[in-house]
Homo-oligomer: A and B are copies of this chain.
Amino acid sequence: MTDAVDPPKARRPNTRLEEVARAAGVSKSTVSRVINGEPYVSSRAREAVHQAIGRLGYSPNQAARTLAGSRANCIAMVVSEHGSRVLNDPFFAGVLRGVHAELAGKRVQLVLMMSKEGDEQDLVNYLCGGHVDGVLVISLHGQDPLPRTLADAGLPTVVCGRPLGAGGVPYVDSDNFNGAMEAARYLVSLGRKRISTIAGPRDMAVGMDRLSGWKRGLSQARFDTDLVAYSDYTPESGAAAMADLLKRAPDLDAVFVGADIMALGALQTLHAHGKKVPEDVAVVGFDDLMIASTAVPPLTTIRQDVEQLGRTMTWRLMAELAGEENLPPFLLLPTSMVTRSSA
């Protein structure tokens, strides 16, 4: 074994700024300026640098940039599971797709973090430690203090979905209220008389906003709004809520379900009780997941554009980081009704 005699590994794997400078015949400063798109660089120098970069396959060392500069060139997306509610898959993936689409071409990395109840302090230390320029938070629990904490620490933050406990923190949400109101009105227009709803949990704004919209739609038409059951975004609890409603009002002829995933369960219960959809009971969901179209019967639902939610959050955050002023404190994305067979 002569390992100990090996020459010290000349670890210098990557092209460095200095080599680009040499190749282009300019100083490091100039290369840096070109990379950062600063003005006051002669087009001659600029071109030489671009060529050298291309030829050498140079990729700037982000750690060095972050350390030297003031920006991290990095934003975090934190999924806060405060209360350990399980992540809603299609929603999360859709938002993420939007975030990425909006980030495309910008030289900003996305780091993903999840917080569970208890390890919040570490997370906050990290986020506020200058490692990221801003954060996108997807909080699954309305009262989550995280957005407030981050915003108070001066970190640009945008929340997905109206936060219940973080007044003043910018957020982006679907227009749940108007979407739900449209659903209620549609059911009224269909001639339904006894219209119920299955609402999401009371501690999340999304559930409350959809419930409020439904109530508003019905009360404007002078209908009762007493047939409300709560559920928690699983097919199983949707099924249970439907059973509850049916027990309380065997004559109900319509139900607005505040999420497609719960509507799937409701459909099962209706089927089990011998109720035909839509003949006996009309069903309208919310979200328009991929599976809405293959439900039996295919589900009429209020579509929200989840990817657009991600794009818009990202746009709002990047605008703030770019120093734009007077940005809107919140943004509501319109929903649209998709009519299929269930109502």
Contacts and interface: CB of A to CB of B under 8 A. Distances in A.
Interface of A: 11, 13-14, 57-64, 66-67, 70, 72, 74, 77, 87, 89-90, 92-94, 96-97, 100, 109-114, 125-126, 128-131, 234-235, 261, 264-265, 267-268, 271, 290-291, 293-294, 296
Contact of A131 (B63, B92, B93, B97): B63
The 5 closest A-B pairs by CB, nearest first: A63-B66, A59-B129, A89-B93, A264-B294, A59-B125
A93 B87 CA distance: 8
Contacts of A129: 14, 59-61
A141 B110 CA distance: 23
A131 B13 CA distance: 12
Contact of A296 (B60, B61, B74, B296): B296
Nearest to A72: B63
A111 B111 contact: yes
A13 B131 CA distance: 12
B89 A294 contact: no
Contact of A264 (B70, B128, B291): B291
A305 B315 CA distance: 35
B59 A67 contact: no
A13 B155 CA distance: 12
B112 A96 contact: yes
B114 A111 contact: no
B89 A94 contact: yes
A105 to B, nearest CB: 9
Given A90-B89, A271-B296, A64 B67 contact: yes
Contacts of A100: 112, 114
A230 to B, nearest CB: 19
Contacts of A70: 11
B296 A268 contact: yes
A102 to B, nearest CB: 12
A96 to B, nearest CB: 7
A94 B93 CA distance: 10
A63 B291 CA distance: 43
Nearest to A53: B125
Nearest to A238: B294
A110 to B, nearest CB: 5
Given A59-B131, A60-B129, A87-B93, 7 more contacts: A14-B129, A63-B72, A63-B131, A74-B111, A109-B113, A267-B294, A267-B296
